[in-house]
Copies of this chain bind each other. A is one copy, B any other.
Amino acid sequence: MGEMKAADRVTLGLAFLRTMVRIREFEMHARIGYDRGEIPGVVHLSIGQEAVPAGVCANLRRDDYVASTHRGHGHCIAKGADVTAMMAELFGKTTGTCKGKGGSMHIADFSVGMLGANGVVGGGIGIAVGAAQAARLLHKDAISACFFGDGAVNRGPFLEGLNWAAVFNLPVLFICEDNTFSAFTRASDTTAGKGPTARAEAIGVRALSVDGNNVFAVYEAARELVEGIRAGHGPGFLHAPTYRLDGHTVFDKAPYRSNEEVEYHRGDDPVALLESRLHAWGVDGTQLDAIHIEAREEMVRAMEAARKAPSPSEADAFADVQLIGAPR
């Protein structure tokens, strides 16, 4: 950040804040929707982790690809997916990104290169690698970014995907969004060795580790990697430790950790950290408040639209299965 002009860093910080607050507000509203029974399905929230998608995706273009996880709202929003369609998807409506067929775990928006959340841990890795290989074949200069959790580093696709991207020198940015837990288990209890970065390096992928709650740090590290990737130097890997402030799902009360622990980590809330930084840089409170209010209003509108949107009909269940050999 040293070289950046004060005005620029404020502009950038405000853009980050807008993205992060939109993600947070989307999820707060999704939680409300779930609690009220308007959202029928299980939702995984990424509250506390917003700096990672915001910092990473600020380096991506619209034609770049992203593959995501079961906890993918932030990745979608940061990549530019339409929150109205996303909220409608959570409501299971025809106006949803997936016409109500996917729900939170399968939100996708191909129009902005979002190739899908994913219900399988590690399931997005191959998709991102494949999209990168396709881009090369089609002589496009798009790159792929692939988000996954700390739990995914213990699944086979982590090894296979990183090795593959390195062997074929593909333009892929792998991001391990390490939120300290994999479901109800502390990631450190199930991951041996020197951690994700060391694993990536050993497999031949250039890797950086960065404070995942500091959006500027995430941005800078991702930028460094993305520059290398766009320059044709092959894949990069970013390890971003952060903390999942909510439960694993909306109904997980997280008895496996103490309230003190959670409170401690609230002190590192990336939104609050960014705001105090902006504050220190002279941005005044009303400007910050405006961002919150705007985001909240956007989400209220999205909820309203989702509420009013038409539900699918039974016949819709038979559409989109396949072109040849579909039922009915």
- Nearest opposing residue in chain B for A167, CB measure: B192
Q: Which of A46-54, A202-210, A224-232 is the interface stretch?
A: A202-210
Secondary structure class of chain A's binding surface, majority of residues: helix
Shortest Cβ distance from residue A205 to the other chain B in the assembled complex, whole angstroms: 7
Q: Which residues of B contact A158 (CB under 8 A)?
A: 159
For chain A, residues 101 to 145, give those with C-beta under 8 angstroms from any C-beta of chain B: none
Query: Which of B163, B193, B199, B202 makes the CB contact (< 8 A) with A154?
Result: B163
Contacts of A163 in B (CB 8 A): 154, 190-193
Number of chain A residues close to chain B: CB under 8 A: 24
Interface assignment of A221: CB less than 8 Å from any CB of chain B = no
| A70–chain B nearest beta-carbon distance, Å | 19
Q: How far is the CB of A293 from chain B (nearest CB, A)?
A: 46
The reply on A325 being an interface residue by CB < 8 A is no
On chain B, the residues within 8 Å of A194 by CB distance are 201-202, 204
**Contact B154–A157 (Cβ < 8 Å):** no
Most buried by B among A154, A199, A202: A202
Binding site for B on A (CB under 8 A): 154-160, 162-163, 166-167, 189-194, 198-199, 201-205
**In the complex, given contacts A159-B199, A199-B202, what are 12 additional A-B residue pairs having Cβ atoms less than 8 angstroms apart?**
A155-B160, A156-B157, A158-B159, A163-B192, A163-B193, A167-B192, A192-B204, A193-B205, A194-B201, A194-B204, A198-B202, A199-B203
